[in-house]
Chain A
Amino acid sequence: MGKMFDFGLVFRQIPSLLQYLPVTMELAVISMLVGLILGLLLAIIKIKNVGFLNKIVNFYISVVRGTPILVQLYIAYFGIPMFLRYINTKLGTDYQVADIPGFLYAVAALAINQSAFECEVIRAALQSVDRGQIEAANSLGMTYLQALRRIILPEAIQVALPSLGNSFITLIKSTSLAFTCAVVEMTAQGKIIAGRTYRYFEVYVSLAIIYWVITILIEQLIKFFEKKTALPEQVAIYNPERALAAQEVQAHD
């Protein structure tokens, strides 16, 4: 029997866990992006109050928010193949269900879960943009989509950034449940290592440290983006001569 707690191992095994960091990050980033796009669509449906679709969206959000992410992952992992096989027999299609990687099921479940939360954040942010600006855009002859892209989103993103950042952090931690879809990411790799060494406690401490550091880094990144998208505090008066001089200096460089 060795030491009760192998302190050195906690740090020594971090590199072999980090080998699977890319999988964790891919899961998180792809799910986040898909979730954002879905969430934006849902938010627009809710804002535009598209009668029948609106009811479906409300139902979808209610179901997704009302069930644990672990259960959703299992449902995706078992449900989607079942559904595809059913389609194969019904429509005579030929989806190679066995060839679909677990990664896709995990992304599907995480993205759907994410979209339901993102929808509310995005909706609140979109609606925080003053209606007057939208009317001004319309009065110039912009379509809703143009106004959305050029006027509404740039302002809404800044409002939503802190909430979206937090939900991304939550999402990174949720990826540790992707083992349910047979995906080997960091946490799953940790379990595999521990299965060999029987040092379960040490592995979980290593994992805790890694997730914690990632979270801190991402918090910093969000703060950086928040600063970058903020308007400057003050701006210099425009002076045509000085602007011309600056252009010439640039040309000489």
Chain B
Amino acid sequence: MIEIKDMKKQFHDNVVLDGIDLTIHKGDVIGIIGPSGTGKSTLLRCINRLEVPDEGSITIDGHTYTSKAMKSREVIELRKQTGMVFQRFHLFEKKTALENVMEGLIVVQKKSREEARQIAFEELERVGMLPWINHYPKHLSGGQQQRVAIARALAMKPKLLLLDEPTSALDPELVGEVLDTIRNIAKSGYTMLLVSHEMEFVRKVSNRVIFLDNGHILEDGTPREVFEHPKNERTREFITKMNRLVEADYVI
């Protein structure tokens, strides 16, 4: 179980996270939705400390990491238990797909090259990238790069996988392959926080959806509850707007 308590973050006088509490159960796939600029990315980045939260704590399997006075050793410890998939992939440019996946295993987990290779092969196979293991990021399409990035995160066997709009930097025809990959890993029992604007996908893949607005969690329930019977007026507005965007897409 992972517990986030009273997570706060502000940039100057812009309060982005205003005391977020969130309990994540093992195997949860939580979709995080909300208008642009409400702090969805900031929440994920505060969880693995790419951003330093002003306040709050994270408890993973009984070990509590308190935001203030966190030693760099603890930060590393925390990051080892979480994986991150970025909107813009951020693969290591000078390394092949295989080396990208092996990197964390060798450097962070101190595995032997042989063992790292073995694991990397398996993970790349899982995301369907085996034929491209010797390719460099510049040789890969966006969708392929993102699948390698997912393999890189999964290879570390994180207790929590954070995905920040993993498909929104992709050309429309490449979105499908990445969504399929994410659906597969969700099925295999990974605990995930997924920020996405793909409402239909969020509705299908998550067992729980959170609506984030103005630094607060306004809605927290099953996809059905949140999408079909939102309690909050803001949620209703947001979902109507997103639906209209999808319909507009169909018209075009």
A interface residues (Cβ-Cβ under 8 A, vs B): 130, 132-133, 135-143, 146, 150-151, 154-155, 158, 231-232, 234-240
Contacts and interface: CB of A to CB of B under 8 A. Distances in A.
A141 B139 contact: no
A133 B131 contact: no
B86 interface: yes
A136 B131 contact: no
B156 A136 contact: no
B26 interface: no
Interface string B112-132: 000000000000000000111
A142 B84 CA distance: 13
A30 to B, nearest CB: 29
Contacts of B104: 140-142
Interface stretch (B13-21, B88-96, B189-197, B233-241): B88-96
B91 A136 contact: yes
Nearest to A143: B76
Contact of B92 (A151, A235, A238): A151
B65 interface: no
23 contacts: A132-B86, A132-B90, A133-B90, A135-B50, A135-B86, A136-B84, A136-B86, A136-B149, A137-B92, A137-B103, A139-B82, A139-B83, A139-B153, A140-B79, A140-B153, A141-B104, A142-B107, A146-B108, A155-B94, A231-B138, A232-B136, A235-B134, A239-B131
Contacts of B96: 235
A231 B93 CA distance: 9
Interface in B189-239: none
B72 interface: yes
Contacts of B48: 139
B90 A141 contact: no
Nearest to B48: A139
A235 B93 CA distance: 14
Q: Is the interface of A mostly helix, strand, loop or mixed?
A: helix
Nearest to B79: A141
Given A132-B86, A138-B79, A141-B156, A238 B132 contact: yes
A141 B149 CA distance: 15
A164 B134 CA distance: 30
A238 B90 contact: no
Given A132-B88, A135-B90, A141-B76, A235 B139 contact: yes
Interface residues of B, number: 35
Q: What 10 A-B pairs are tightest by C-beta distance, nearest first?
A: A140-B104, A132-B90, A139-B84, A136-B90, A141-B80, A141-B108, A141-B79, A237-B131, A154-B94, A235-B135
A171 B200 CA distance: 63
B50 A155 contact: no
Contact of B136 (A135, A137, A138, A231): A231
A102 B103 CA distance: 46
B8 interface: no
B242 interface: no
B86 A140 contact: no
A150 B103 contact: yes
Nearest to A240: B130
B175 interface: no
Nearest to B124: A238
Given A232-B136, A238-B130, A239-B131, A146 B50 contact: no
A231 B130 CA distance: 20
B133 interface: yes
Contacts of B130: 238, 240
A139 B76 CA distance: 9
A140 B132 contact: no
